[in-house]
Amino acid sequence: MKKRQANIELLKIVNMLMVVGIHYIRESGSLLTLEAERLTGRYALAMFFEVLFIVMIDAYVFISGYYGINGKFKVSKLISYQCRLWFYTLLIPVVLMLFGVPTLVQTEGVYGLFKYLFPVGNSHYWFMTAYFYMMLFMPFINLAVKTLEKKQLLLITACFLAVFCGVKSLVPLRFSMDNGGYELLWLLCVYLLAACMRMYGGKLEEWFDRHALKIYLGSATLSFLIMMGAWFINKKTSGVAYLFMMPIHHNFILCLVGAMGLFYTFRKMQIKEGKTAELIRRLATYSLGVYLLHEHLDLRTRWCPALTDFLKPVLGEGVLFFLVGLILCVAVMFAAGVTLDFVREKLFGFIYKRIAGTRLVKAVYRLDDIFSKKEGDAGGK
């Protein structure tokens, strides 16, 4: 089996660190709002980190599209995905109740349990829900990319980008159908763009390769300046509230371009094979557990105060508190999430060894074979 590229696996780890970082900004009260009376150093620094981190979703999906174009649809992967969600949605409330912490099942009864049992349908984690549905569309997109003529594919991709990104990035007012990229349609758009870049990137890819880091930092800087400008303008006159929020939308042009800059920064990175590369691969394998742990509905608003409350009496609430809190929360949540997902993998491996020979498992793998053959036949025509 071909090893995953350590540089891209490192990008996945960085993306997850960014996820925790941006959620820390949200939960710690460091997020600048239009209602803030003055712009403090903490607010300004948090805002800049926010635009640096917000590209993580687009970058993660871009990886999927760039390398998933040659992937195969597997029913077993969907089942594994669902089981992984259940491990977190069902285990965490049980542990919390043992420690006397209120959970959704206690406050909402059967409706809370419903959210645990059906995490995809109830969007327990918005990204996991959107990504699950995206996996169902992947074989269709892959087939389209491989069978459509180049001009047809590029035109369709351009239309997608114009509708879901281009127009909204130029108009400083919110469209009623615009969800800021927090949806399946935008993920499909990024996946399609990445697949096109892999197939027909050509000179555009060469340009990104040469200027990748500059593109990433430049996009973040421009987004920061737009938000700062909108904040100051809003103090004089209202009507720019949406412009203030636009740069931290996943389907904003600078966010997308910044994500691509980040991707190509890591794509051209060289990591020598050895223990470091293997460690990166292992950590990347478990990194999704970081998201599933800290964004669980019962923990989403609790982990940050629990980790930072003891810092305030010592550091106050200024820039130092923000930086120390950011580093602490990201480090602790990453370590906890990776450790818990390591335990999950061992448990799942133990269970799999005992059910591998059952009819149900064999039936699932037969379904995998059917889809593999279908994709192979279609791709060869």
Per-residue pLDDT of the chain (381 residues; tens, 9 = 90+): 578 899 999 999 999 999 999 999 999 888 888 888 888 899 999 999 999 999 999 999 999 999 998 888 899 999 999 999 999 999 999 999 999 999 999 999 999 999 999 999 999 999 999 999 999 999 999 999 989 999 999 999 999 999 999 999 998 888 888 999 999 999 999 999 999 999 999 999 999 999 999 999 999 999 999 999 999 998 887 778 888 999 999 999 999 999 999 999 999 999 999 999 999 999 999 999 999 999 999 999 999 988 888 777 666 677 888 898 899 999 999 999 999 999 999 999 999 999 998 999 999 999 888 877 544 444 433
Whole-number Å distance between alpha carbons of 196 and 152: 11
Report which residue type is found at 277: A
Question: Is 346 exposed, middle or buried (CB count within 10 Å of its CB: 0-12, 13-18, 19+)?
Answer: exposed
The pLDDT of residue 378 is 43
The pLDDT of residue 29 is 86
The pLDDT of residue 3 is 82
Whole-number Å distance between alpha carbons of 240 and 247: 12
The pLDDT of residue 379 is 42
Whole-number Å distance between alpha carbons of 222 and 207: 19
Q: Cβ distance 337 to 283 under 8 Å?
A: no
Residue 342 burial (CB count, 10 A): 15
Q: Cβ distance 187 to 61 under 8 Å?
A: yes
Q: What are the extents of the domains in the chain?
A: 6-380
What is the sign, positive or negative, of the torsion defined by CA atoms of 131, 134, 136, 139? negative
**Phi and psi dihedrals of 12, rounded to 5?**
-60, -40
The pLDDT of residue 380 is 39
The pLDDT of residue 313 is 65
Residue in 376, 355, 377 with CA at minimum distance from that of residue 365: 355
Global confidence as pTM: 0.93
What is the sign, positive or negative, of the torsion defined by CA atoms of 81, 277, 347, 103? negative
